[in-house]
Amino acid sequence: INLVTLSAFDADDGDNGDNALVDSELTLSKYELNDVPDDNDDGIGGIANITISNTFGKDQVYGLVVSLNYANKNRDEQKTSIATYFYNNELQTPVNKQLRTLQYTNVWQKYGGNLKLEFKPLENSYSFLNAFYYTQEEDEHRNFVHQGPR
């Protein structure tokens, strides 16, 4: 796999030396499932990203790319699973063989950034130093109720 990250030299528009680039994204979201315990605390989640790059120095031989990222999700969820039914001859009715309910909260945040310093003194000569940090924090509490054979 040859992953190639964004370069400040990618935005070159020709002879005027203007290689500046600003790219951003903002997304808001609302997660609503079967709320547990129906407290409407799910909140607004979303994603925010920004990338800025430019070249600088004499003859624009240096490049800098900075990216920052953030994502957040906050939700409660309830899931109910009913396993196969069987027919009870004594009761003359279908009977649930197994019932499971799961209630859980789920909150996560992801954030990080990237810093890339580039040097391109000639058309066929290029080097860079890339540093990054990304992390994810998650907090989830689960309650499980099971009725039936295991």
Q: Which residues contact 70 (CB under 8 A, 6 or more apart)?
A: 47, 48, 49, 109, 110, 111
What is residue 109's predicted lDDT score, i.e. its pLDDT? 93
- What's the predicted TM-score (pTM) here? 0.69
What is residue 55's predicted lDDT score, i.e. its pLDDT? 93
CA Rg, the chain, in Å?
Answer: 27
Mean pLDDT for the stretch of residues 46-64: 94
SS3 33: coil
Helices (H) and strands (E) in the chain, counts: 0, 7
Q: What is the largest CA-CA distance in the chain?
A: 91
* pLDDT tens-place string over residues 76-121: 777 776 665 555 566 666 666 677 777 777 788 999 999 999 999 9
